[in-house]
Amino acid sequence: MSSVSATCNIIVITDPTGEDPNGAAAGSMSFAQNMFQSTFLMSKDNHFVVLSGGTGSSDSRLDSIVEAVAALKNNASSASAASLASGYTGARLVVGGPTIGASVSGSFRAYVITVEDNSTITVTPYSSGTATLEPGQKGAIIHLRNTAGNPMYGTADSVRKETAMNIGKMIRDGYPATTILAEAMGEVAKDSGEKYGGGGVNLISGLSTGDMFTPQQMNETGYPMDEPYSKTCENCGWGLGFPSAENYDKCPMCNHDLKTVYAYEALGNTLTVSENSVSVSVYGSDEPGLASTTQDVVKSSVVNNGYDANAIAKSINKAIDNGLIVGVDHVEPKDINVKKDSKAVGVYFTALAGDRSSPEWDLPIDSTVLNILGSIQTVIGIILILLVVFRSRLLKSFQK
C-alpha cells in the first residue's frame, strides 16, 4: 500500500454553541492515493474530528492520530491535542469541534479565519507552532499543500489564501458550515488539483460521507470532487450516480429534466440536515456503486412516499429489475430498517452467488413444468414464447 497524505484539511465552525445542526463541519482530500476514512475520523458522541496528513511515514501519522483521539476523549483542548503532532516527524493534525474550537499543528501551511459579530473578517497565515481558532469563535482553519506529481503543482499558496477569504465571506453572510465546507472543497479541487476524496463530516449532527468518495481499491485515487457525481430530478426526487447517469437525460419516473450534481455539491447535500434529508446505510454487499445508487433510490422513495418500508422495498426492487442496482437479490420490507425520528434508513442486501448480476427471473410458469416437458418438442414453442415476452429483460441480462 502506497503512503497517503491528506493535503487539504478544512474545519468550519459557524455555531460555536453546538445548537445549529449544520453549524460545524470538516473534511479532507488530496491528489494522493488511498484517501480512506482514516483521514477524517469523527466522534459522534464527543463531537470532535481529527484530520490527518503530513510528510512523515504512515506509522508516525497513525500513532499521532491515536494519541490525539485519546487526548480529546479525556477532554483535552483542541490546541493540546493538535500539538501532539510535533512529537512525530512530518505528521500533521487538524482537530476541532463546535464547542472546543479548532487547531492545527505539526507540518502545515494554513490560514485561520475568524469572523466577528460585527462582520469583521480576519485571515491569518500560520506555518509553525500551533494555530488555533479559539472556543466560542466563529471561523475556520484551512490547510493546503500540493502533492508531488499534481499537474497544478505550485498553486497551493494562492488557492489557500483565496479560499480562506471566501470561507470568511460565507461565514459572515450566514451560510451553514456544511455548505461552506462543500463550496471550499469544490474551489480547492478546481483551482489546485488536490481533488480526490476523502470526504467530510457534520460534527453536530454526526453525519458522514462515509465511502461516497473514498477509493474502491488500495493504491487508487478517490472520486474527483470537481467532477459530476449524479443526476437528480428536482420534481420527484429520483436520482442516479455516474457513470450510469450518463444514460439518462430525462427522469424515468416523471420525464422531467435532470440536474447534474457535482461531487462537492453531493458532499454538501449529504452532510446538511434539512426537512427532506435522509441518511441511508447499506449493508450486505460491497458491490461498486451499490451504496450511492441505493441512497438515491431511497431518498426518491422517501420524498414521494415518506418513511414507508414497503414503498422503499418496492422502489429498490424496481431499480434491481431495471438494472440500476446489480449484484444483489430483491429485498423485502423486513430488510428495510426505518428510523423516522432520526431520518435514517438501513438497507440489508443479500449478495447474489457466483457471478450473477441480477436475481432469477420471476417467470409466469413454474420451472418444474419446463423440466417435465423437457423431452417434448412443444417445450421449444414455450421457450420461444418466453423469449418474446421477456426479450427486453434478456437483452439487459445479455448486456450485463
Average pLDDT over residues 344-355: 85
Give 333's pLDDT tier (boundaries 50, 70, 90): very high
Give 106's pLDDT tier (boundaries 50, 70, 90): very high
Average pLDDT over residues 62-80: 93
Cα distance from N-terminal residue to C-terminal residue, the chain = 32
Which secondary-structure segment (H or E) carries 196?
strand 196-202
Lowest mean pLDDT among 113-117, 146-150, 317-321, 350-354: 350-354
Give 40's pLDDT tier (boundaries 50, 70, 90): confident
- The answer on pLDDT for 179 being more than 90 is yes
Instruction: Determine the Cα–Cα distance for residues 225 and 197; give it in Å rounded to an integer.
Output: 7
Average pLDDT over residues 20-47: 88
Distance of CA 259 to the CA centre of its chain: 19
pLDDT of residue 35: 87
Of 26-35, 168-177, 313-322, which has the strongest mean pLDDT? 168-177
Q: pTM score > 0.95 for this model?
A: no
pLDDT of residue 9: 96
Q: Tens digits of per-residue pLDDT, 358-368? A: 777 665 556 55
Q: Tens digits of per-residue pLDDT, 193-219? A: 999 999 999 999 888 888 889 988 888
Instruction: Determine the Cα–Cα distance for residues 12 and 168; give it in Å rounded to an integer.
Output: 10
Q: Tens digits of per-residue pLDDT, 272-285? A: 987 666 778 888 88
Instruction: Determine the Cα–Cα distance for residues 399 and 30; give it in Å rounded to an integer.
Output: 36
Proportion of the chain above pLDDT 70, given as a percent? 86
> 317 or 392: which carries more pLDDT confidence?
317
- The answer on pLDDT for 51 being more than 70 is yes
pLDDT of residue 293: 84
Q: How far is CA 298 from CA 295, 305, 308, 361, in A?
A: 5, 10, 10, 23
pLDDT of residue 67: 94
Proportion of the chain above pLDDT 90, given as a percent? 53
Instruction: Determine the Cα–Cα distance for residues 287 and 276; give it in Å rounded to an integer.
Output: 27
- The answer on pLDDT for 356 being more than 80 is no
Beta bridge partners of 12: 25, 140
Give 373's pLDDT tier (boundaries 50, 70, 90): low
> 176 or 326: which carries more pLDDT confidence?
176
Beta bridge partners of 111: 125, 142
Average pLDDT over residues 379-388: 64
Residue 31: partners with Cβ closer than 8 Å, 6 or more residues away: 7, 146, 147, 149, 150, 193, 194, 195, 196, 221
- The answer on pLDDT for 268 being more than 60 is yes
Residue 186: partners with Cβ closer than 8 Å, 6 or more residues away: 225, 226, 262, 264, 265
Instruction: Look at residues 242, 275, 276 and name the one whose alpha carbon lies nearest to residue 258.
Output: 242
pLDDT of residue 363: 58
pLDDT of residue 151: 96
Q: Tens digits of per-residue pLDDT, 231-252? A: 988 887 777 888 888 988 888 8
Query: How high is the mean pLDDT of the chain?
Result: 87
Q: Which pairing describes strands 279-283 and 344-348: parallel, antiparallel, or unpaired?
A: parallel
Question: Could you give the angle at which helices 177-192 and 156-172 cross, rounded to 10 degrees?
Answer: 160
